Chains A and B, each alone.
Chain A
Amino acid sequence: AQSVTQLDSQVPVFEEAPVELRCNYSSSVSVYLFWYVQYPNQGLQLLLKYLSGSTLVKGINGFEAEFNKSQTSFHLRKPSVHISDTAEYFCAVSAPGGTSYGKLTFGQGTILTVHP
């Protein structure tokens, strides 16, 4: 079974400052990794995903994440945040195999609040 831990439940930051949202996962097999964002009263929107290959993944809205297999981490970063980045961010994993079809395992979420 897989599990995901998002190390910070809330992250306050000032506008134009850099931010890192931390995600660690646990799995006995190789996993696929995703970051989603949820704005108030909306569903989840994919920011980026890691399937294989380069460990640095670039996504939408200037976000990027780095897969670190030895540390089982997939931290999300943005060099300069905007007020509009205020939202809740979810890290998720899926694993190969039939028992994981269509199933994402999510972390508890990190609320990013960007202050002017």
Chain B
Amino acid sequence: KAGVTQTPRYLIKTRGQQVTLSCSPISGHRSVSWYQQTPGQGLQFLFEYFSETQRNKGNFPGRFSGRQFSNSRSEMNVSTLELGDSALYLCASSLVSGNQETQYFGPGTRLLVL
């Protein structure tokens, strides 16, 4: 079974632009979580989607948004990019939405904001 895939793997943007990242979960998984990883702040939870509904959200500004489609694929969008948004963005999928569920991570999208 194929793992979690994320596209693109690398991205360079300039301040003020917006970006959309894509995540395809493992087949059959219905929950997708997004995380931001930076050297300074570590791994931080952005949001989680299950059955096209956002069920949980981390402490990030409204410039960070996401959505999930009926096939469980998810996208996250960052508008008005800032230098501090440079990070590795990881998505993870799990079979269902739950606290005990194992999250399977993709390789990430590395975003550089200039």
A and B: bona fide binding partners: yes
Binding site for B on A (CB under 8 A): 32, 34, 36, 41-46, 49, 51, 90, 92, 94-109
B48 at the interface (CB under 8 A from A): yes
Chain B window 54-83, contacts with chain A (Cβ cutoff 8 Å), 1 for yes, 0 for no:
011010000000000000000000000000
The reply to whether B42 and A96 contact each other, CB–CB distance below 8 Å, is: no
Q: Which residues of A contact B84 (CB under 8 A)?
A: none
The reply to whether B48 and A106 contact each other, CB–CB distance below 8 Å, is: no
Q: How far is the CA of A90 from the CA of B44 in the complex (A)?
A: 12
Chain B residue at smallest Cβ distance from A42? B107
Binding site for A on B (CB under 8 A): 4, 31-33, 35, 42-45, 48-50, 55-56, 58, 90, 92, 94, 97-108
The reply to whether A102 and B43 contact each other, CB–CB distance below 8 Å, is: no
Using A45-B105, A102-B31, A102-B50 as known contacts, say yes or no to A90 and B56 having CB atoms under 8 A apart: no
The reply to whether B56 and A49 contact each other, CB–CB distance below 8 Å, is: no
The reply to whether B55 and A98 contact each other, CB–CB distance below 8 Å, is: yes
Known: A43-B107, A102-B33, A104-B35. 10 other contacts (CB 8 A): A45-B105, A51-B100, A99-B56, A102-B31, A102-B49, A102-B50, A102-B97, A108-B42, A109-B42, A109-B43
Q: Which residues of B contact A49 (CB under 8 A)?
A: 102
Using A94-B99, A100-B99 as known contacts, say yes or no to A43 and B108 having CB atoms under 8 A apart: yes
**Which one, B45, B90, B98, B107, contacts A105 given CB within 8 A?**
B45
